[in-house]
Structure 1
């Protein structure tokens, strides 16, 4: 029997890392997670990913809403631009918002 394989199996069994499964088969493969462990991992992933996705969807909604309101209120006419150049206006609006938010964060407001 390969001694290196025994060392690897012994190393896996002796670890106390909670993120690493500790059960191995005789062939050296890691066994599937138990139902409780898989639920715990899924919940941890959900608690990280779902808020980020919600925040991204909210930003997209606000972006589309402000662009549509600005078009209705005559921003394109004021900027003397055609509808194809509307994206430049959105980019300028976004970067100004980012710079103002950064300044607001520095002030601690």
Structure 2
């Protein structure tokens, strides 16, 4: 199935209505930033678990509905944790980068998500 920009925006709008969130969202796929490919996340692929960094303001239900509608899969569980930003020194001032949220999405057996690389 080929997804056009208009179809993806319609799906995104439907998710926001279904979950009851009234935030202003622009663009498509702004909930999921990118897929994480580390040693641990590659091992989790064997258990049908996918790891990705998501927008820090996104909720679990919003990401779950978006994945189920966009990829046509069934999500069993979602685990999330917020990772701290890295420290950055700018002269005498110590700053830090933005915090971000990472989700591990578990799918039912028999379902899979195609690679997004």
Larger radius of gyration: 1
Normalization by structure 1: what TM-score? 0.24
Greater RCO (CA < 8 Å, at least 6 residues apart)? 2
Greater fraction helix: 1
Q: Which of the pair is proportionally richer in strand?
A: 2
